[in-house]
């Protein structure tokens, strides 16, 4: 019995001293960074929680709902367009870039019969999209048949950081079918000045 | 007057002639350009709304890019297979498909697709291609192939990131850090942009380079790199911490503690800041300043203890209000202004905890999904109000139409037209009427106008017959669309709630992990204190023993 008690006592003493040694070792090396916490880039990479079945179900449901809402939005836009801008009264104005164009568009203002109907500001992503062949619809509306005037003002920077403000006016006759007008931003190769062309569909 | 009335009614009717026209009237070139614009601007939802079935069939690669951009991934494998089997795929198509596979973490498939690219890729896609290929090789364990795929990169952010990733891969895979350092040097030389992203990458390059030099024992070089890191970067806390460490190893105690003291301005939940708090007393102790050591350990313990209280408080708030109210919404909860404040400074408590949680990819994805669902909710709210306006307008038009219809007297107009026609006929039969006089009086033109009026009246009568039905059809469509919105909205709200609950669980899980680390930090500072007191006790004991020991007298 005594021997047994002695063994337990010795065991406790060993544990006590070894824990002190551990404490000292830790105190002596406080600068050892936790590799799990800080990767080589100094970014924190926390432990990811285990895969969550509930979350996977939510993600799947979300994908289904996204598809449903996209489809519903398409129907709603079609309905709205047919109701407010039917083909026979519709006027749509588009903006695009010609190839190899260095003009940086800041903003566009569109006036219809001397009334401001639309204005757009351009950020990097939108300019890149235009340069990549994208076409932006800058106005969609309904218009009575007859003579009308469309005025567009372009503001932006051309080559050599020179600032430009250009106005382009177009007189047109609206007839019984939809009218599509495309404004094309291009550039004078020789002078580097911006040019604006109009294409009517 | 009569003619004007007829024409205005006719115009009114024409407004509704194409209400349910489903086929697009816009020229294909403009339509496709519009989709391209939305895709390249990153507005995938708008691009998907614009795409009709025929566009999706003829442009499967653009369709799958838009789906992937809006995180709809279920159909992607099938769409990629379909797209692969298309004839006459261009280099740009192979690039898009390969990128899509890369984003789905299928590097083998991505590399196979990239292999089909013949060299006709536009210049702006060449650098991303090299980046994706290199990353794929790194993921598949071949740094050599990754390095080979990067040869010939001209410069820019893609190239710099590619070499940075290669450096990280070299550093983690080998004891010899030379290759990693060379790759970092190349990354730095290629990163010549002045954008925020380019600056951030430069900071990361300098931090990693410094750390590699420190690990190799070259403290002087390490310090140079750490000092290049800007003070307003996410790399600043680790750079300052390691800089202090390198300075201490160089024997510059003052510079080391200065670097660590400056970290006190940063949130403690950043582990580099915690490490710096523990390193300060260590440096004091090493320099023999015992009282400062004790003070620094006490300060560290208090800081960790106070952060632990904060963590517990935030955990309590999460349990009570949920992660959405606490971290995402613009909430105003009484008594919580200290936490919910969104000041211009980025180190508010909320901002630092938000940043901490968002560093986890899983949590980030959940928040992104939450924000996508919020966008969808906003779009539904918009349409609910639009439909209410449409319905009101249609009802008013229907009522006005019914009024006009009740006052519209078709037979009397026909009688009027016939009278006019008879009068013209009578005029022609009058004596003295000859072709010259008839021409001067424009009798033929009058007859034609009368005929045109008759025709318009016939058309109008037909349209009037259809008009009410058409308006009713539109009202039915408004009702149907409204019901569909309500149905989807119910599911969306349910999903939003479920995701909010998951976000709360996830945030609490991460906080628990942070708490564990903070407890460990607290214990380390307490152990440091014990160690100091033990040393002091031991030295006193030794002194006493020495005094008592006759051999030393």
User: Using CB atoms, which residue from B29, B207, B282 is nearest to A41?
Assistant: B207
What is the residue whose two structure tokens read 């009569």?
B2
pLDDT tens track for A157-184? 887 778 888 898 999 998 888 999 999 9
pLDDT at A51: 59
Q: How far is CA B201 from the centre of its chain?
A: 20
What is the residue whose two structure tokens read 């000859």?
B434
pLDDT tens track for A66-100? 999 999 999 999 999 989 998 889 999 999 999 88
User: Using CB atoms, which residue from B20, B74, B171 is nearest to A40?
Assistant: B171
Q: Which residues, other chains included, contact B369 with Cβ-Cβ below 8 Å and sequence gap of 6+?
A: A58, A59, A62, B71, B499
Q: What is chain A's alpha carbon radius of gyration, rounded to the nearest angstrom?
A: 34
pLDDT at B490: 94
- Both tokens of B173, joined, read 């895979």
B432: left (phi over 0), alpha (psi -120 to 50) or beta: left
Shortest CA gap B437–chain A (Å): 34
Contact B128, B161 (CB under 8 A): no
pLDDT over 90 for what percent of chain B?
A: 60
Contact B49, A74 (CB under 8 A): yes
pLDDT band of residue B332 (cuts 50, 70, 90) is low
- Residue A138: φ, ψ to 5°: -95, -15
Q: Do A129 and B530 touch (CB under 8 A)?
A: no
pLDDT tens track for B169-178? 999 988 888 9
Q: Do A83 and B359 touch (CB under 8 A)?
A: no
Average pLDDT for B35-49: 95
Q: Using a CB-CB distance cutoff of 8 angstroms, which residues of chain B are in contact with residue A105?
A: none
**Distance from C-alpha of A113 to C-alpha of A29, rounded to nearest angstrom:** 78
B59-to-B54, B80, B124 alpha-carbon distances in Å: 8, 12, 21
Provide the ipTM: 0.78
pLDDT at B420: 86
pLDDT at B329: 76
B462-to-A199, B5, B373, B411, B470 alpha-carbon distances in Å: 38, 17, 47, 14, 12
Q: Which chain B residue lies closest to A81 (C-alpha atoms)?
A: B19
pLDDT at A88: 86
B110-to-B40, B100, B138, B147 alpha-carbon distances in Å: 21, 8, 13, 17
Mean pLDDT, chain B, whole residue set: 87
pLDDT tens track for B386-424? 999 999 999 998 898 888 888 888 888 888 888 888 888
Q: Which string of b and e fits B342-374 if b means at least 16 CB within 10 Å?
A: eeeeeebbbebbbbbbebbebbeebbebbebbe
What is the enclosing helix (H) or strand (E) of A133?
none
Contact A117, A157 (CB under 8 A): no
> Does residue A17 have a pLDDT over 90?
no
**For residue A153, what are the β-bridge partners?**
A109, A167
User: Using CB atoms, which residue from A34, A43, A182 is nearest to B30?
Assistant: A182
Provide the number of CB pairs (under 8 Å) joining chain A to chain B: 223
- This prediction has a pTM of 0.78
- Residue B36: φ, ψ to 5°: -60, -45
Q: Which residues, other chains included, contact B458 with Cβ-Cβ below 8 Å and sequence gap of 6+?
A: none
Ranges assigned E (strand) in B359-403:
none
Q: Do B502 and A82 touch (CB under 8 A)?
A: no
User: Using CB atoms, which residue from B48, B208, B369 is nearest to A41?
Assistant: B208
- Both tokens of B214, joined, read 């420190």
- For chain A, give the number of residues: 201
Greater pLDDT, B478 or A51: B478
pLDDT tens track for A22-54? 333 333 333 333 333 333 333 444 444 455 778
**Distance from C-alpha of B523 to C-alpha of A67, rounded to nearest angstrom:** 51
Least confident of A109-113, B145-149, B455-459: B455-459
**Distance from C-alpha of B310 to C-alpha of B37, rounded to nearest angstrom:** 47
Q: How many Cβ atoms from other residues are within 10 Å of residue B123's Cβ?
A: 7
B142: left (phi over 0), alpha (psi -120 to 50) or beta: beta
Residue (of B211, B279, B240) closest to A28 by Cα position:
B279
Q: Using a CB-CB distance cutoff of 8 angstroms, which residues of chain B are in contact with residue A42?
A: 204, 207-208, 211, 234-235, 237-239, 272
For β-strands A146-157 and A163-174, DSSP reports them as antiparallel
What is the enclosing helix (H) or strand (E) of A190?
none
What number of CA atoms fall less than 13 Å from residue B99's CA on the CB side?
21
Residue (of B276, B4, B404, B323) closest to A31 by Cα position:
B276
- Both tokens of B491, joined, read 């599911």
* Burial (Cβ within 10 Å: 0-12, 13-18, ≥19) of residue A35: exposed
**Distance from C-alpha of B50 to C-alpha of B60, rounded to nearest angstrom:** 14
> Does residue B536 have a pLDDT over 70?
yes
First vs last C-alpha separation in chain A:
106
Q: Do B172 and A78 touch (CB under 8 A)?
A: no
**Distance from C-alpha of A62 to C-alpha of B218, rounded to nearest angstrom:** 52
> Does residue B551 have a pLDDT over 70?
no
For β-strands A179-187 and A90-97, DSSP reports them as parallel
**Distance from C-alpha of B47 to C-alpha of B49, rounded to nearest angstrom:** 5
Q: Using a CB-CB distance cutoff of 8 angstroms, which residues of chain B are in contact with residue A61?
A: 491, 495
Q: Which residues, other chains included, contact A157 with Cβ-Cβ below 8 Å and sequence gap of 6+?
A: A103, A104, A106, A163, A164
- Both tokens of B111, joined, read 């590399």
Residue (of B97, B94, B51, B100) closest to B71 by Cα position:
B100
Average pLDDT for B452-463: 85
Residue (of A152, B48, A31) closest to B56 by Cα position:
B48
Q: What is chain B's alpha carbon radius of gyration, rounded to the nearest angstrom?
A: 38
User: Using CB atoms, which residue from B20, B212, B499 is nearest to A58?
Assistant: B499
- What does the DSSP assignment read for B247-282? HHHTT-HHHHHHHHHHGGGS-TTSHHHHHHHHHHHH
Shortest CA gap A87–chain B (Å): 7
Q: Using a CB-CB distance cutoff of 8 angstroms, which residues of chain B are in contact with residue A70?
A: 45, 48-49
pLDDT tens track for B108-164? 999 999 999 988 888 888 899 999 999 999 999 999 999 999 987 888 899 999 999
Contact A141, A85 (CB under 8 A): yes
pLDDT tens track for B232-270? 888 999 999 999 999 999 999 999 999 999 999 899 999
B191: left (phi over 0), alpha (psi -120 to 50) or beta: beta
B495-to-B43, B48, B329 alpha-carbon distances in Å: 23, 21, 17
Q: How far is CA A101 from the centre of its chain?
A: 22
Q: Which chain A residue lies closest to B517 (C-alpha atoms)?
A: A37
Q: Which residues, other chains included, contact B155 with Cβ-Cβ below 8 Å and sequence gap of 6+?
A: B190, B191, B192
pLDDT tens track for B352-364? 888 899 989 899 9
> Does residue B6 have a pLDDT over 80?
no
Least confident of A49-63, A150-164, B9-23: B9-23
**Distance from C-alpha of B464 to C-alpha of B456, rounded to nearest angstrom:** 12
Q: Do A48 and B499 touch (CB under 8 A)?
A: no
Question: For B549, which DSSP code?
Answer: -
Contact B408, B5 (CB under 8 A): no
**Distance from C-alpha of B449 to C-alpha of B99, rounded to nearest angstrom:** 65
- What does the DSSP assignment read for B461-527? HHHHHHHHHHHHHHHHHHHHHHHHHHHHHHHHHHHHHHHHHHHHHHHHHHHHHHHHHHHHHHHHHHH
Q: How many Cβ atoms from other residues are within 10 Å of residue B411's Cβ?
A: 7
Q: How far is CA A98 from the centre of its chain?
A: 23
């Amino acid at each position: 019995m005594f021997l047994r008690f002695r063994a337990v006592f010795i065991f406790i003493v060993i544990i006590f001293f070894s824990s002190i040694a551990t404490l000292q070792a830790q105190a002596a090396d406080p600068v050892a960074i936790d590799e799990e916490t800080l990767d080589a880039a100094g970014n924190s990479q926390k432990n990811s929680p285990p895969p969550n079945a509930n979350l996977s179900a939510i993600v799947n449901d979300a994908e289904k709902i996204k598809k449903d809402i996209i489809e519903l939005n398409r129907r709603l836009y079609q309905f709205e367009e047919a109701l407010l801008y039917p083909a026979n009264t519709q006027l749509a104005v588009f903006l695009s870039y010609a190839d190899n164009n260095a003009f940086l568009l800041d903003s566009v203002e569109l006036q219809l019969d001397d009334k401001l109907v639309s204005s757009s500001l351009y950020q990097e992503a939108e300019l890149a999209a235009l340069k990549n062949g994208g076409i932006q619809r800058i106005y969609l509306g309904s218009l009575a048949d007859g003579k009308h005037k469309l005025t567009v003002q372009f503001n932006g920077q051309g080559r050599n950081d020179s600032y430009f403000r250009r106005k382009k006016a177009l007189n047109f006759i609206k007839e019984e079918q939809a009218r599509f007008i495309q404004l094309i931003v291009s550039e004078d190769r020789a002078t580097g000045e911006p040019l604006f062309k109009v294409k009517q569909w | 007057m009569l003619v004007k009335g007829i024409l205005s009614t006719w115009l009114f009717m024409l407004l509704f002639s194409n209400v349910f026209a489903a086929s697009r009237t816009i020229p294909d070139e403009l339509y496709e350009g519009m989709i391209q614009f939305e895709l390249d601007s990153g507005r995938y939802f708008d691009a998907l709304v614009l795409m009709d079935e025929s566009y999706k069939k003829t442009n499967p690669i653009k369709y799958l890019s838009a789906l992937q951009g809006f995180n709809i991934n279920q159909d992607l494998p099938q769409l990629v297979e379909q797209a692969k089997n298309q004839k006459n795929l261009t280099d740009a198509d192979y690039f898009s498909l390969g990128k899509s596979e890369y984003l789905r973490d299928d590097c083998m498939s991505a590399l196979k697709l990239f292999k089909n690219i013949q060299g006709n890729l536009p210049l702006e896609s060449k650098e991303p291609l090299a980046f994706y290929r290199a990353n794929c090789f790194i993921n598949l364990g071949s740094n050599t192939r990754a390095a080979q795929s990067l040869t010939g990169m001209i410069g820019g952010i893609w190239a710099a990131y590619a070499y940075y990733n290669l450096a990280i891969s070299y550093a983690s895979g080998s004891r010899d850090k030379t290759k990693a350092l060379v790759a970092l040097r190349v990354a730095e030389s290629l990163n010549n942009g002045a954008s925020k992203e380019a600056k951030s990458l430069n900071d990361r390059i300098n931090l990693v380079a410094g750390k590699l030099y420190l690990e190799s024992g070259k403290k002087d070089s390490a310090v140079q790199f750490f000092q290049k890191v800007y003070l307003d970067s996410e790399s600043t806390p680790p750079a300052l911490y390691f800089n202090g460490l390198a300075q201490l190893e160089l024997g510059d105690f003052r510079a080391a503690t200065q670097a660590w003291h400056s970290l006190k301005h940063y949130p403690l939940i950043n582990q580099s800041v915690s490490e710096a708090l523990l390193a300060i007393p260590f440096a004091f102790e090493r320099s023999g300043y015992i009282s400062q050591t004790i003070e620094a350990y006490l300060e560290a313990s208090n800081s960790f203890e106070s952060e632990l209280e904060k963590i517990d408080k935030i955990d309590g708030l999460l349990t009570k209000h949920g992660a959405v109210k606490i971290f995402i919404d613009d909430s105003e909860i009484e008594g919580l202004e200290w936490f919910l404040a969104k000041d211009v400074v980025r180190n508010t408590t909320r901002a630092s905890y938000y940043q901490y949680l968002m560093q986890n990819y899983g949590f980030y994805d959940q928040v992104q999904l939450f924000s996508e669902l919020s966008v969808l909710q906003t779009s539904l709210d918009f349409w609910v109000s639009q439909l209410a306006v449409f319905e009101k307008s249609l009802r008013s038009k229907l009522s006005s139409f019914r009024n006009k219809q009740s006052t519209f007297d078709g037979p009397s107009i026909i009688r009027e037209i016939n009278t006019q026609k008879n009068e013209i006929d009578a005029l022609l039969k009058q004596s003295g009427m000859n072709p010259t006089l008839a021409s001067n009086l424009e009798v033929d033109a009058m007859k034609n106008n009368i005929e045109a009026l008759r025709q318009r009246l016939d058309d109008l009568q037909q349209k009037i017959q259809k008009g009410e039905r058409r308006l009713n059809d539109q009202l039915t469509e408004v009702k149907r669309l409204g019901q569909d919105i309500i149905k989807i909205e119910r599911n969306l709200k349910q999903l939003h709630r479920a995701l909010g609950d998951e976000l709360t669980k996830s945030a609490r899980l991460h906080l628990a992990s942070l708490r564990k680390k903070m407890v460990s930090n607290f214990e380390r500072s307490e152990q440091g204190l014990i160690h100091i007191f033990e040393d002091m006790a031991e030295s006193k004991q030794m002194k006493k023993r020495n005094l008592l020991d006759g051999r030393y007298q």
